[in-house]
Structure 1
Amino acid sequence: MAASPGRLDKAYGTFALCDEAYALAGAEQARYRPGGRILSVQFLPHLYWAGSATVGALGGSFVPARVTGLDFALTALFTVLALDAVRELRDDLPTPVLALLSAPTARLVLPGQMLPAAFALFTAGLLARHLTRSRRPRHV
């Protein structure tokens, strides 16, 4: 049985999802874009990401050890993406605050396992918030 083009689009869209594509496709303006446009928006960052990773893997050994600052580039990228996400979440400020509180708490509680602990705390906080919000009576 052959896959339909729509299923291939969805499969590729899931495969090609990277942080930059998510930031673009998750924006408020993207809700009004057709699926083909979103797919093309995903293709370009995916191509860039895969190409850059390949070039980095092949050419990284040629960068002299005395070059500093390259390790901060990824941190800067995620900082910019986080700031854009916070701007989009103006009505939902508790989510970024919860994320910001999860990291230092995890660092204090389980310093050797900070990343999994921070994810667990953040997930638990989101679930708790969801459960408390879903129990509130809705006003019409």
Structure 2
Amino acid sequence: MNKCTTLLLTTAILLARPAAAQISIDRVEPQSGEVSFADSIRRQQVERDAFSLAKYRAERAAIRKERNYLEISASVQGTLTSFNDPWIEVSGGDNSIAAIGTFFLDHIFTKDKFSIETKASAKFGYNRIKAVPEGEEGEVGI
């Protein structure tokens, strides 16, 4: 029974959601006595043209995002054709596998009336067919 209780308690703690509570105090008794305030802060004039590195970086990031357009895509497509031996003997056909992988990149940089567009595209294909070359015996993958 003790192991079961420990397991249930551990599960309840792990699955528990965050909880919040607010506690209010109904009655507060003010303390009697003289209160005095002392201004111990030294006042100093501060220039308003302070350089903020965070603001500068945010502005530059916004400009980069506004000037640049980036599109990247990649895909893989494959096919497999498989015939059993009786079908090949009667109707013919070859067992084959084919795969094509593509990659595409498009980047456009724009500043005022100036624009540069960079595109890259790549494809790779693989095709394997079992065949019997002329004058040879046995199947060979081509």
Assess same fold via TM > 0.5: no
Larger-gyration structure (1/2): 2
The structure where strand makes up a greater share of residues is 2
The structure where helix makes up a greater share of residues is 1
TM-score relative to the length of structure 2? 0.17
